[in-house]
A and B are shown apart, each in its own frame.
Chain A
């Protein structure tokens, strides 16, 4: 079977796009449209997509987002109360009326950052082709830009939206980006974020994916990190019917580091995939990945973690740990660590565990008077600790904790 299902709506969208924009689309969009028409969507024959099939996505007939301002006050009320400038996107379009435009941010068009690679990632080709909007954030050298909220709200109605964002940090600059996605109904959110992190700069990227349970979330992040720079990220996946977060981190200078921590808490028929590619392209670089999965109902979790150590990247320090807690006999976890090491003096370790709640621990808590559901929640929360503990940003961390706490309410654990 062709990777691009015949008759797929997304393919039809590509053809329509080609017809409409061939004359006046941007160069990037025309090129991406060409790539997408040729390559289509990722399919089951591709090694990196074996565990996450896009069939449920192609089964939906998506349309582009309607123009005009819809009322999103209910969704806005669900946002964590954090006193920081907000950049609000609704169905992929920037809403200046709801946002705080800071100096150094520019919206109104796709950002197409320097590391945007529609030629490599098929979903990025789709994004680049159909993107209508995005935010470009520039933090000048030496500046601490504090915290920014980047919010995406989907309003349903089978729309697909493809915002394309870019973050550029000058030397020694700092930014914490709280990346919140939520919505209602059925929609496809396919964002791309390209981060360019200069020498000794730090981007803290805290992501809370709480898309509607009927929605699809397919996101790609590129993080290019220069010497002594840090891409410090934590991603919490709670929402969407089908989700894939793909992160490509490239450590390009000595002492560059990346933290790609994540937690996926799933129930019902949810499917979520956290896929990382970390390239150590300079000596003395470090990467840390602690990924925790809590799976109930008939949910399915996927983790694919690739660590590439180039020949030049001596003294690389890479660590990857994936752990899954299965709370139901029908839940499933697929885990694929991949280490490609071409340097000879490196320290790389990886591990994976899949298990259930410990009966002795549960009994111990219950003998102290803690009711079983609360005891189970305590043990699940304890399981997540290693991934949550490194979050230094207190409000961001509290937002994650609250989101996890609300997860108990809708899932039988």
Chain B
């Protein structure tokens, strides 16, 4: 599904990604762990098409298509979803309208029929309920006045409604208490299946107790320096990043 080869990228002429190689096959969940400043968020932004990042080499393909050549909205319509580390507040934009506009824009881009208001309402309410979100969260402005946990749950709600083929979760666990963490993990686990893959970016092993990954990769200085099974996350939690980084150097 996602295939990244020797990807390098700069911000303001400073190299942040330094030759990433990564393959996430269909139906798998991979975790990317790494210390602050290792390039985790940059990787998620480059993959989702944020401006200001200079891709200087390498490739990233999504179901065989050149991901880096697509506009952000085209990547979304192709099935890519980024759960933001810091979800953006949109004053004046109603959450339900926003979500329906997004869903129908994607459906339109894929040549599918749009969802009418009634069908959308039914879908979004059911998903909100599954995520233990209060009903009024759909009526409020997008992320405005939401607590940190509510914002992250709202990201997962969007993911549940938009049904991506590949979700990138950028530190979705940061700022969550244990109950919210479980809810978020349940939301991701509910999507698991042969047509859903995820790249879970996190500092801590804790989230991976609830979303058990197929593979764990360690990112340091813009490169993946180690890959392994879920046990690698426990190893990192026990010994820290320093040992592995030193070993790789």
Contact = CB atoms under 8 A, between A and B. Distances in A.
Given A367-B82, A368-B158, A371-B73, A382 B105 contact: no
A130 to B, nearest CB: 43
B241 interface: no
A383 B88 contact: no
B162 A364 contact: no
> For this complex, into which size category does the number of interface residues on chain B fall?
20 to 34
B48 A383 contact: no
Given A367-B48, A369-B106, A382 B101 contact: no
Contacts of B84: 364, 367
A376 to B, nearest CB: 12
B213 interface: no
B206 interface: no
A236 B113 CA distance: 35
B139 to A, nearest CB: 14
Contacts of A363: 50-51, 72, 88
A335 to B, nearest CB: 21
A73 to B, nearest CB: 35
A191 to B, nearest CB: 32
B123 interface: no
Given A359-B51, A374-B105, A369 B73 contact: yes
Q: Which residue among B48, B91, B92, B109 has the maximum number of chain A CB atoms within 10 Å of its CB?
A: B92
B93 A366 contact: no
A370 B73 contact: yes
B56 to A, nearest CB: 21
Given A359-B51, A363-B50, A363-B72, A368 B92 contact: no
A366 B72 contact: yes
B71 A372 contact: yes
B149 to A, nearest CB: 19
Nearest to A389: B92
B54 to A, nearest CB: 16
A382 B82 contact: no
B126 interface: no
Contacts of B93: 378-379, 382
A371 B81 CA distance: 15
Q: Would you call the interface of chain B mostly helix, strand, loop, or mixed?
A: helix
Contacts of B200: none
Contacts of B105: 368-371, 374
A368 B102 contact: yes
B76 interface: yes
Nearest to A380: B92
Contact of A361 (B88, B106, B162): B88
Interface string B199-237: 000000000000000000000000000000000000000
B181 interface: no
B92 A366 contact: no
A364 B101 contact: no
Contacts of A371: 71, 73, 105, 109
A409 interface: no
Contact of A369 (B50, B91, B109): B109
B162 A366 contact: no
Interface string A43-70: 0000000000000000000000000000
A370 B75 CA distance: 11
A408 B28 CA distance: 43
Interface in A341-376: 359-361, 363-372, 374-375
B75 to A, nearest CB: 8
A359 B158 CA distance: 20
A367 B90 contact: no
A26 interface: no
A383 B92 contact: yes
Interface string B95-137: 0001101110110010000000000000000000000000000
Given A363-B72, A367-B49, A374-B101, 9 more contacts: A363-B51, A363-B88, A366-B71, A367-B84, A368-B158, A368-B162, A369-B76, A369-B105, A382-B91
19 contacts: A361-B88, A363-B50, A364-B84, A364-B88, A365-B90, A367-B75, A367-B81, A368-B76, A368-B106, A369-B109, A371-B71, A371-B105, A371-B109, A372-B71, A372-B73, A374-B101, A375-B73, A379-B90, A379-B93
Interface of B: 48-51, 71-73, 75-77, 81-82, 84, 87-88, 90-93, 98-99, 101-103, 105-106, 109, 158, 162
Interface of A: 359-361, 363-372, 374-375, 378-379, 381-386
